[in-house]
Structure 1
Amino acid sequence: MKREGSVSFLVLGLSILCLSWFSDGYIPPDSYLIDCGSSANVTMEGRVFLADSQASKFLSTPQDILASASGSGSSSDVSQLYRTARIYTGTTTYSFSISQIGRHWIRLYFGPFDYSGYKMSTANFGVSATDFVLLSNFSTTSTVMKEFSLNLTSSTLTITITPSSNSIAFLNALEVVSLPDTLIQDDASILPSGKYQGIFTQALETVWRINMGGPTVSSGNDTLSRTWVPDQSFLSSSNLATNFSNIGAVNYVSGGPTQDTAPSTVYGTCTEMNSASNPNSNFNVTWEFDVDIGFQHLVRFHFCDIVSKTLNQLYFNVYIDSSAVVTDLDLSSVSFNVLAAPYYVDLVTSTSKSSKMQVSVGPYTANGAYPNAILNGLEIMKLNNSVGSLSGNVGVSPSGSSSGNNTGMIAGVVVGVLCALVLAGLLFLFCRRRRRRLASQGLSKSWIPLSINGGTSHTMGSKYSNGTTISVASNLGYRFQFGAVQEATNNFDESWVIGIGGFGKVYRGELGDGTKVAVKRGNPRSQQGLAEFRTEIEMLSQFRHRHLVSLIGYCDDKNEMILIYEYMENGTLKSHLYGSGLPSRSWKERLEICIGAARGLHYLHTGYAKAVIHRDVKSANILLDENFLAKVADFGLSKTGPEIDQTHVSTAVKGSFGYLDPEYFRRQQLTEKSDVYSFGVVLFEVLCARPVIDPTLPREKVNLAEWAMKWQQKGQLEQIIDRTLVGKIRPDSLRKFGETAEKCLADYGVDRPSMGDVLWNLEYALQLQEAVVPGDPEENSTNMIGELSPQVNNFGQEDINVSTTQFEASSMDDLSMSKVFSQLVNSEGR
């Protein structure tokens, strides 16, 4: 059925005006706006661009040439920013002080005109910023603005403009402005499948920013001063599409996209299928865009279901170049079950082999839904290539000089490189021989004490000095030299890789004394990685517990971020549940693993002055040693809990999809109960032995937590357990386990048990599995959760091992409930 736009363009204009009046907007810590060549400040859409003379303190140039378009035949409608320009006859740099590291816009404005013998339309030049090439061999005959975003990691940004040989360069205006940290996340999917890691460290160039179904949204009506252009000229078959507008319906939900993600004038308009009241319509709406060959692109799809009257009406597929990238998308289910809640999807394409990119949306009708599909907005951003360039294969500090004029220089560079290689080879052989000689003397690994939180560390001597070997447990707080880590991992032998995560690769290794270790090597340019690196060291330097993976040391030489842990022989809990072909574990073994992990988390929550919230509890972060003892690992996202007089910590949402506490996601308020929720998902994962999110399954089964909770609430949990456990779990044990998991997954944190309560119930479920307890008066009840929490909560200060063997020592044939309670409560028995 064909819809007509429900809001006129008059109302749309008023909405845009209201946005500019009432939007809170983002206030950037750094904001440099320069009108190059201008003698006075210029105000454009509410923003003030400084006169060139006021910006001279940022500039280093061989010659001052300030140009004006006055009298040069420029039309009266040319933007004020393009009426003046600065001309550069040699290499020029702008240096800006950066008050807050993070991603920043760099916007360059070019509008060529003739001035005093200089023809800007024939200019050819390059522009670089820090480690990235933004433009090379650039020229233009028309007005254009180039927008880039870089993740700045130092206190100074240097932008270099380099004219080509026998040419000039020019610039009409320049912006350097901070961006919100949440705008570009490091969680995009990469085509054809998988997760893309490293967006934080990439330079991006905005190629297209499109407002589907609506008019141009100018920079003055966007909180981040972006311009969104209409989509009509990009449609492949405009007759297959129709526009729809309902800006007033847009509902920004806490925890979801904000006005900074995209304004309501984008989310409130869309292009949808023109199905013309035909329930048998089956076609895609397609747009085509020009892109540069040889680059990957970050494609951000903006969605907002402003067309449906009720939830779960709209289902559709999303395509890039005819490949389905999102199937059976139901905006209701991903947008907090709220109509018209904004939502976006980030995808990174493979390296482009064509100069055209097609984006499509089409219907999903397998479930009988009416054929329709929408798209509200689209952004396409180019990622820098392997040499740090957004413009061809030119490296940093591009030079436009022709090859003919640089033959001598190239020859000199080649000779210099060859000499450097020879010297490097000789130096390598010398260092290798010296390292071997030192190793034979027991001096190859030099340890430097680690200082945490600004405290003073005291050198305790080399681990290998005087032939004394210090135990692994006492090595905490020591720093490895990079050469020692190389030796331990056989120079980071790829065949020694035992895992790959968001932080980096994990290698198995062996120290000189035979101690086996796991070596996690991070990306030193990743801001997220640096934060995780510091957090991991700070957290694990404070805690020692039997059920927490021990940190042996770290290395930060040569811009490396390396963490060295005790080696866990049996890998992750996840690998023993599904996907790896390893033998299935018995129900008793699984319960013992869950109990061990619960002890570790309970210690985190209660064993220190302030609770520590793990924030990334999942089966992949529960590791198993040679005896299948469970230990919680990966504290890179951990957060110190609230103060005594507070109920939560307000923080950006981080974690793993499928395990994430929905209350934390909605409110961005973190508590220990967020870990409890994630652990509840792990419990069902252990029971069912399947991924927590599996998009290949029917809709009702995709999310494990939702699916398992439905069966638990029907009292039929046995219907979905791991088939290898069928007939091997005592009903009472299964019932107690299911009740515990259900409590963990309560919608609100206040309704969830503490980790101490969870631990008690898991231990009880194990006893119910190991022995029949006659006359249990409460066996169908959950009211025992919390009854013993005062006693349980007292064993957080040290590694208190509540071993199941204590119960096995009793006569299990005639064990009564009173005996079970007495052994659990008696602190001396622990």
Structure 2
Amino acid sequence: MESITHPFLPLILLFFIPFSTSFTPLDNYLLNCGSHTNTSLYNRLFVGDSTKPSTIFLSADRSILLTDQNPPLNSPTLYNTARVFRSRSSYRFNIRKKGTHLVRFHFSPFVAQGFDLKVAKFSVLVNGYVVLSDFQLNNSSVLKEYIWKIDTDVLQIVFTPAGNSGFGFVNGIEVFSAPADLIIDYGARLITLTEIGEYRNLSSQVLETIHRINVGGLKLTPFNDTLWRTWIPDEDYLVFKSAAKSASTTHTPNYQNGGASREIAPDHVYTTAQQMNRDNTTFNAKFNITWNFPVGPGGILHLVRLHFSDIVSPALNLLYFDIYINGYSAYRDLDLSSLTTHVLGSPIYVDFVVDSDDSGVIQISVGPSDLSSTIRMNAILNGAEIMKMVDVMSTQNVYKKKKIWVVVGSVVGGFVILCLAIIALLLAMRCRKKTPKQGAAESVGWTPLRMFGGSSLSRMSDGTAYASPGPNGYFGLKIPFADVQLATNNFDRSLIIGSGGFGMVYKGVLRDNTKVAVKRALPGSRQGLPEFQSEITVLSKIRHHHLVSLVGYCEENSEMILVYEYVAKGPLKKHLYGTGLPPLSWKQRLEICIGSARGLHYLHTGFAQGIIHRDIKSTNILLDEDYVAKVADFGLSRSGPCLNETHVSTRVKGSFGYLDPEYFRRQQLTDKSDVYSFGVVLFEIICARPAVDPLLAREQVNLAEWALEWQKKGMLDQIIDHHLVGQIKPSSLKKFGETAEKCLADYGVDRPTMGDVLWNLEHALQLQESGRKREPNADSNVSESESVRPIIVPGVPSINLRTGDDGIGSSDINGSQVFSQLMTNEGR
């Protein structure tokens, strides 16, 4: 089938694909609430609820009809009126056809007749079940949609104001029959942390629509949908936009040969898609396309419906791909041809029931299957819907629970009073004894830990680092705002050395003449508060000569400021290419590689679980005055797997060109993902070119793949930085190339540990300086006979550094929420 990727084609298609014949529901109630007149929205007639149609009964004795006298420009007329309820009120709809219905509520706040609808607070019940509890809006209009199986002759919707002085409101209500096959009871795949199987009785669940996405296409309004739904583009949800490429077709979807209908999703959804963008990769590169959809608090089941139509293949049985949801393998080796009657462009959908985690995000990925041919490797997605399974509770159950809690509260209250009396007695007896005086560290709840070989920039005069906050916070790291102002000359713009989404980074000098980098979040914004607190927690526990250190922080006057040691020469990247700085010698480059490896080795082994950086690249390795490397930017870092685990299942994060392909495919993170990224950096250092350069010839775009080809041919010397020609001894170059090659192995199990990488880089430096052979690496179990030609032994753990100059006590931390980008204005 012909696949077209012209950027304006989706817009053209909106005019050339004929609109679908409207679905005609047997029950079809459209109410213009708070109005005596009818109005139209998307060519649908909404009847004024004050006309009291014979099939609707309105019980609202104390309700008020409001009209917005100054409606916004182009505001739908439906949103210019509202019915306000000052007491419990209800609508009753006669149902002629039992079964699945769509129930929609339109809310659009405005101010009229002394009512500010933004402050309304109320609950909504449908047939006695709560769907909205203590609901309150902000300034924007909201459409709440529910898919509900109605098995009674009457549908009752009740609005209940919260509190005696509260009120509720609604602008419009829709109740209409849905096609019988919209939600079916069988076939949904259950994918949760504790269970994988089939989910049954799906139609009996109350579903609330959270996201409805036209993947690879434009926004679709109810004009383009037989069930009058809105579909929005997927661009804002793509994790790596460069990994996806839109595709479109002019062929009308073949519904007769597929498993979907126009009521499942409209034509425009099935004629556009996202596919793998292989323009900047070699023909055999494997990666996923990933979307993150926010869904709110974790622990709630969701129906995830994915829509597919093969519009990218020239023939049948060429497209095989995998689906991952929240890091789990949800569907292996999906062959769209086998799910249809063997006709290309036949729409189908697949349902999954999944639970959300504490991140509040549902992640969906598609990627090539192991069955994919090298030439036809691809994966697609045409559309996605995410619907929350509403935990409805009947009013009767609410009343019962309240009674139970009254009894429980009385019992617990009496028990608490008894406990307080006993505690008071014990304290009185203890006060008779002399209380020993606490030490300074103990008095604020700090646990002092040894400062390691690294930073001389600690502001603790006693040379200790405090790793755990006490009840009064990190007092030893707190810096007054006045001191930060003084250090940066009141945030003088001439001192800006970097910027990012968080704000600006300034060069500064503290009162004790310590040079620092000051990262200031946007003043007054508290959106980054969790990240700010996490960074203090994480970086206060990390001290190493080759890791950028946290000097202190400031949290005054609604400010969030982090103060780091100043690393004078900035990112490694600008010393390699593009800035005209003096080229680094081969010895300098080796020492930078060794220093960076030491810092990463400490991260991986210096804690009980270890820390995985997740964003190793040349912009995140900084150089001080003496060209000593310091790994920076722990914005994507997170704790490694526990002792009884092999990996951490997590959403894909990182930078394009440096990302571990196995992590990308499987979404299983290990410290070997850092090893892969570091391997790219090694080639970047010796070749002095970016990890990805789309301006180069196709075979040269991806540095890792291009350099590996030359390394495997034993011709790495042909592509090295021209400034290094004649500088590198062949033995040193060979050892360096072998090390980088091992780091870039396709599978993590075949890659060395960072300790092994460090040992081999040190060996490469020794070969460069003297040419003498090095002793075998104890960490790698290399025998003496092998020491003539030291090799990297993958999969053998290095010595765990927990004490001494590079060690620290175990730490149960998660650095996934740390601020990003220090001393660079380049984003991820």
TM-score normalised according to structure 2 size:
0.48
